[in-house]
Amino acid sequence: MNAFIRLRDDVRRFVLSREMLFLKIWSALVAFVGLMCIRANFGHNKHVSQFWVSIIIAIICAFFPIQGVSIILTIVLLINLVSLSPMVAVVALGLVVVGYLVCAYFRSKVTSNMVTVPICYSFGAPYVMSLGAGLMSNINELTSVVCGSVIAFYLHVIKDNTTAIVDETSDVSVLSLVQEQMLQNRMFWFFITAMVAMFLVVYMLRQSSINMSWMIANAAGVAVEFIIMLAGYLLTSQKGEIPGLILGNIIVFAVGFILNYFVLDLDYSRIEKVQFEDDDYYYYVTAVPKIRLAEEDKEVKKI
């Protein structure tokens, strides 16, 4: 066990000693993955969707914070959607603008969730962002997760109906797709409910005063989301989506375990009950110590 703790501490020290470098790598990686997802699903503009262009944009994004990367990815997406259909791009832009306004009203700081949730959705695991936000953020970030989920489902609908949108003889309109395949689609509401329920369960449990609260929050959040989505697939006769749901939830649980391993370092075997008082109150405090390993004293002898 000590070996794993020492490995984690070594990784932390290594990352912190090169924090700026890793932030640049992270921004470039998020940008590159996002550009590849756009290229694979909405690569309708041949100029922007070229592989070498994506590499150049990703390198430029390395010098931007993650919020700036999300704006650049949004611009690239809108350029591709304009090539598909101007109306599709207008609706997407409207959703993004409304999302930013809602996040600003509720003081959500991680607005990049509106981009990262659709990216994770394309991999079949959008719940990673709901779990991560519930573990790492405050309650305000629920708005960015919900807005990102709405945008992700809209892009999913557009992708599934690309052929009908391109076909000039088809009478399919973007507004009718939003009306019929989003607002009147029960799976859309099951998806939004699952994302919200997962965030709330994880957020409330990880703040509770129970042992192993993060791990319990991780397991409970995945279980609640899985039950809601499973019920949705069964009620809408989409049983073929269940294997992908199971695989996605395994990935989500693994990500939650990794976050718990690298971020939280509490030793629940040495919990202490502390009592003290002042002029007005008597306090009962539960203190959970952090895991700390004594540094090895290495003595070098010269012969």
Structure tokens at 169: 């003889």
Task: Say yes or no to pLDDT of 70 above 60.
Answer: yes
Q: Which residues pair with 276 in a beta bridge?
A: 283
Where do the domains of the chain lie? Answer: 1-84
**Under 8 Å between Cβ of 253 and 219:** yes
Q: What pLDDT is stored for residue 196 in this prediction?
A: 95
Confidence of residue 298 (pLDDT cuts 50, 70, 90): low
Distance CA 191, CA 193 (A): 5
CA triple 301-302-303, angle to 5 deg: 115
Give the separation between CA 100 and CA 283, rounded to whole angstroms: 42
Q: What angle do CA 266, 198, 261 make, to 5 degrees?
A: 25
Give me the pLDDT at residue 294, please. 55
Q: Picking from 6-10, 23-27, 257-261, which range would have the lowest pLDDT averaged per residue?
A: 6-10
Band (35; pLDDT cuts 50, 70, 90): very high
Confidence (pLDDT) at 1: 56
| Other Cβ atoms within 10 Å of 126 Cβ, number | 26
Asked whether the predicted pLDDT for residue 179 surpasses 60, the reply is yes
Instruction: Write the pLDDT tens digit of every residue in 180-208.
Output: 889 999 999 999 999 999 999 999 998 88
As a whole-number percent, the residues of the chain with pLDDT over 90 amount to 53
Q: Please, how many CA atoms are within 13 Å of residue 216, restricted to the half-sphere of its CB?
A: 10
222 near 198, Cβ under 8 Å?
yes
Q: What's the confidence (pLDDT) of residue 262? A: 76
User: Which pTM was predicted?
Assistant: 0.85
> What pLDDT, in 10s, does the model give residues 227-237?
999 999 999 99
Hey, how many other C-beta atoms are within 10 angstroms of the C-beta on 55? 14
Return the pLDDT at 165.
Answer: 86
Q: What is the pLDDT of residue 274?
A: 75
Q: For residue 296, give every residue at least 6 positions away whose Cβ sits within 8 Å of its Cβ, in sequence order, or none.
A: none
The radius of gyration computed from the CA coordinates of the chain, to the nearest angstrom, equals: 23
